[in-house]
Chains A and B, each alone.
Chain A
Amino acid sequence: GAVVSQHPSRVICKSGTSVKIECRSLDFQATTMFWYRQFPKKSLMLMATSNEGSKATYEQGVEKDKFLINHASLTLSTLTVTSAHPEDSSFYICSARPRSVTDTQYFGPGTRLTVL
């Protein structure tokens, strides 16, 4: 149980394009989903927290107009990187917190974004 999927697993795009990443909880309802970014050999950095049906809460320094988050259902959240630039190249990981277990989270496999 507690499986979280992400799609795509890897994406390469041109500078200036937008990329959408999907995060799904496959066998549980997730009241909260988290989006993280990880640069090589660095720790996970929380970008934003999203609750189903409400606006995401962004961490300091994360541009909400650049990283659009939609959490339309209890099993799906999307992150759209708008007008991507090479410095946005990173490993993006989502996690989901089950409705029934509030103090833990399960991670998706991550999406590796490369912006050329």
Chain B
Amino acid sequence: RKEVEQDPGPFNVPEGATVAFNCTYSNSASQSFFWYRQDCRKEPKLLMSVYSSGNEDGRFTAQLNRASQYISLLIRDSKLSDSATYLCVVNKGGQNFVFGPGTRLSVLP
């Protein structure tokens, strides 16, 4: 089993749709969690950290369920500019960051 798994995608959704990405991790000792987005041929950029209490940043909401070892990202009212690959990243502690394979999103006009 991979350490971090994500929805395989791709997700093709119309503008304005709500889309949710799922991520699971295998190491129960993992300490911190992040969502990054990566545009084609660019570096990953931090989208948001994920906290146990859940956190929201505008149209983006991230949730963490430690008991189920599950992380989610919800995008509301999707825009064309949201089209990217979304990477779930888990820090196992110290210097151990593990990237998920990513889920590609295409928002269609």
A→B interface (CB under 8 Å): 32, 34, 42-44, 46, 49, 51, 91, 93, 97, 102-110, 112
Contact = CB atoms under 8 A, between A and B. Distances in A.
Interface stretch (B15-23, B38-46, B65-73): B38-46
Contacts of B43: 93, 107-110
A102 B97 CA distance: 11
Highest count of chain A CB atoms <10 Å: which of B31, B44, B99, B102? B44
A34 B97 CA distance: 10
Interface in B68-105: 87, 91, 94-95, 97, 99-102
A110 B41 CA distance: 9
Interface of B: 31-32, 34, 41-46, 49, 87, 91, 94-95, 97, 99-102
Contacts of A42: 101
Contact of B97 (A91, A105, A109): A105
25 contacts: A34-B95, A34-B97, A43-B100, A43-B102, A44-B87, A44-B99, A46-B99, A49-B95, A91-B41, A93-B43, A93-B44, A97-B95, A103-B31, A103-B32, A103-B91, A104-B32, A104-B46, A105-B97, A106-B46, A107-B45, A108-B43, A109-B43, A110-B42, A110-B43, A112-B41
A104 B34 contact: yes
Contacts of B97: 34, 46, 105
B42 A109 contact: yes
Contacts of A106: 46
Nearest to A57: B95
A102 B32 CA distance: 10
Nearest to A40: B41
A104 B32 CA distance: 9
| Closest CB pairs A-B (n = 10) | A107-B43, A43-B101, A103-B32, A44-B99, A110-B43, A93-B43, A109-B43, A49-B95, A107-B44, A103-B91
